[in-house]
Chain A
Amino acid sequence: METTRNWREIFITQLIKASGYSAIIFVAMIFYFLIREGLPTLSEVSFSTLFSTRWYPIEAYYGILPLIGGSIIITIGATLIAVPFGIGGAIYIAEIAPRWLRDMLKPLVEVLGGLPSVVLGFLGILILSPNLRILLDLPTGLTALAGSLLLGGIAIPTVVSVAEDALDAVPKSYRDAALALGATEWQTIWRVTLPAARSGVLTAVMLGVGRAIGETMTVMMVTGNAPMLPKGLSALLAPARTMTATIAAEMGEVANGSVHYHVLFFIGMVLFIISLIVNVTASAVVFKQRKRAERILS
């Protein structure tokens, strides 16, 4: 009886250890797979073609620059929306709103985060882009701007929840000290609380940006998917094509092992690496800040 219990305990402990390492295994598997299917691109498609400005894969124009540009301009637009509204909302909910209001607002914002992207895309085609066209007198409402607005909306809940948690975590003593020194609540927020929560807020923004870069269905439905190289911020008012929409739209049509197939995996690789960089940087910032905070508070 004693030995079976030990046996069981060891077995279960090993299972748990294995599950713990599974995350690393999955990331490695995904990375391996993307590389395995994406890297052949570099031998099949010349560098100059790959970095040209024409994306028309059925005639072997594999220029991915317009796609990268499209993703970047839409993400920039989404960030310009998500950061002010997200941080502003987080500050309001965490610091200013009375308790009853906060208990109502927090779940409501989370609901926005739960809305399936396809629902937002669907509303985008029917409501947002026609109105954008009329409001801004554009040739068409299917533009990068429509994508940015919807993506900003999707990213805001992420920014709000993480930033709100970060602001909440700032010790009350900081605020009390500032107020005792005669600062108004407003000044306290901007000069004490927010800087103290800096790393958490930064993480929130990066997670929101990450969410925006990775969004697929919404952009596929409202941005027009035209592979145009964006030239400056005015490109927001023109259609664009993101890397994610390209993969989603074209993946179904590729024959296993063809050049197009490899190029799409290559794009997937690029997306993976971008999200890797964003996430590792965000976590490095948090680790560094946490270490510093531990040093200060000890």
Chain B
Amino acid sequence: MNASSKSSSRQIKQRLGFSLLAVMTLATVIPIIAVIIYIIVLGSPAISWEFISGFPSDGMRSGGIWPAIVGTFYLTLGTAVFAVPLGIGAAIYLSEYAQNNRWTQLIRIAIINLAGIPSVVYGLFGLGLFVLFLEFGTSILAGSLTLSIMTLPVIISTTEEALRAVPQSFRTVSISVGATQWQTIRRIVLPQALPGMLTGVILGLERAAGETAPILFTVAAFFLPRLPGSPMDATMALPYHLFVISTQVPGMPVKIQYGTALVLLIFILGMNFIANSIRSRARAKRQW
């Protein structure tokens, strides 16, 4: 076999290989687009101001999903309250203070583990600890605490990455003009890392907003006639509401199901979009 035919057979192999991979990627991506379009098409007839701002009526077969939207909003907020300070603190520790010893390795392993625990096990833990043992009952408090532990690893790892991306020179210069370590962190490192941190926080909260299993036993209610008045109240929530109306209620109009799915999707994708734009804007404006 001469050189040119050998190279052309390799070229053919390469072209085939590239096309195969392209097809595989397409096969992954096209269903995503199809799913989104499908939900948008079937769900948008249901979207109206009454749908978003009204309460469910007629056994939830008509009316709106406002309490579920508010519930998800409160849960996301509650998760942020607990997870953001704790997560950012832990990330600062790992990035700025921790030494490379066994304890730090243990912390990292713990974070990886928290990230891998199935969501239903979090629900179990939340039920056992917050709802029963600490007697918070099914409440926004119990749900937020459960969701926040679940969100912690995402916030910690993305924040740590953002902090580490800030060049060491920034810190060195700051220390050399006499600032303490905390002053350096607060005034120099944190502001620089802020976009990355924000992205991480939003992505973490996005996951918390879409989860059903952890809130099943800790906060979710089938129907509440009024909005929750305090963190000790149970609440409806979008993911649980979608689950319930697609499986529990007979004669549920299809468009209400898809409408709810669409609202949930907009919520989630909206957060995703915000996180991504912050990330790309920050990358462009980076000072290093």
Interface, chain A (partner B; CB < 8 A): 5, 8-9, 12-13, 15-24, 26-27, 29-30, 33-34, 37, 84-85, 88-89, 91-93, 96-97, 105, 107-112, 114-123, 125, 153, 156, 160, 184-187, 207, 210, 213-217, 221, 244, 247-248, 251-252, 256, 264-265, 268, 271-272, 275-276, 278-280, 282-283
Does B167 touch A at the CB level, under 8 Å?
A: no
Does B197 touch A at the CB level, under 8 Å?
A: no
Residue of B nearest to A88 (CB): B24
Residue of B nearest to A188 (CB): B14
The answer to whether A89 and B28 touch across the interface, beta carbons within 8 angstroms, is yes
6 smallest beta-carbon distances between A and B, as pairs: A214-B118, A19-B89, A20-B93, A116-B210, A186-B14, A88-B24
Residue of B nearest to A206 (CB): B116
Apart from A19-B92, A21-B103, A272-B121, list 17 A-B contacts with CB within 8 A.
A9-B183, A13-B181, A23-B110, A27-B113, A85-B27, A88-B21, A109-B28, A110-B272, A117-B210, A122-B246, A184-B13, A214-B117, A215-B119, A248-B120, A251-B127, A276-B113, A276-B116
Residues on A with beta carbons closer than 8 Å to the beta carbon of B33 = 108
A272→B243 CA distance, assembly (Å):
25
Residues on B with beta carbons closer than 8 Å to the beta carbon of A275 = 113, 116-118, 121
Chain B interface residue count: which class? Answer: 35 or more
Identify which of B114, B122, B183 gathers the most chain A CB atoms within 10 Å of its CB.
B114
The answer to whether B86 and A111 touch across the interface, beta carbons within 8 angstroms, is no
Does B81 touch A at the CB level, under 8 Å?
A: no
> Quick one: given A89-B28, A244-B120, are A20 and B107 in contact (CB under 8 Å)?
yes
The answer to whether A123 and B35 touch across the interface, beta carbons within 8 angstroms, is yes
Does B170 touch A at the CB level, under 8 Å?
A: no
The answer to whether B125 and A116 touch across the interface, beta carbons within 8 angstroms, is no
Residues on A with beta carbons closer than 8 Å to the beta carbon of B152 = 22-23, 26
Residues on A with beta carbons closer than 8 Å to the beta carbon of B132 = 256
Does B233 touch A at the CB level, under 8 Å?
A: no
A269→B105 CA distance, assembly (Å):
23
Residue of B nearest to A106 (CB): B276
B265 in complex: contacting residue of A27, A119, A160, CB < 8 Å: A119
The answer to whether B111 and A23 touch across the interface, beta carbons within 8 angstroms, is yes
Residue of B nearest to A245 (CB): B120
Interface, chain B (partner A; CB < 8 A): 10-11, 13-14, 17-18, 20-22, 24-25, 27-29, 31-33, 35-36, 38-39, 85-90, 92-94, 97-98, 103, 106-125, 127-129, 132, 149, 152-153, 156, 180-183, 206-207, 210-213, 216-217, 239-240, 242-243, 246-247, 257, 261, 264-265, 268-269, 272, 276
The answer to whether A27 and B14 touch across the interface, beta carbons within 8 angstroms, is no
Residues on B with beta carbons closer than 8 Å to the beta carbon of A282 = 112
Can you offer 30 A-B residue contacts whose CB atoms are under 8 A?
Answer: A13-B97, A17-B93, A19-B92, A19-B93, A22-B86, A23-B110, A23-B153, A24-B107, A24-B110, A34-B124, A85-B27, A85-B28, A108-B32, A114-B210, A115-B268, A116-B265, A118-B242, A123-B39, A184-B13, A210-B116, A213-B118, A214-B120, A221-B247, A247-B123, A251-B127, A268-B121, A276-B113, A278-B116, A279-B109, A279-B112
The answer to whether B14 and A34 touch across the interface, beta carbons within 8 angstroms, is no
A186→B36 CA distance, assembly (Å):
33
B86 in complex: contacting residue of A19, A117, A186, CB < 8 Å: A19
Residue of B nearest to A283 (CB): B112
Q: Between A and B, how many residue pairs show CB distances below 8 Å? A: 252
Residues on B with beta carbons closer than 8 Å to the beta carbon of A26 = 110, 114, 149, 152
Residue of B nearest to A270 (CB): B121
> Quick one: given A19-B93, A24-B107, A252-B217, are A116 and B264 in contact (CB under 8 Å)?
yes
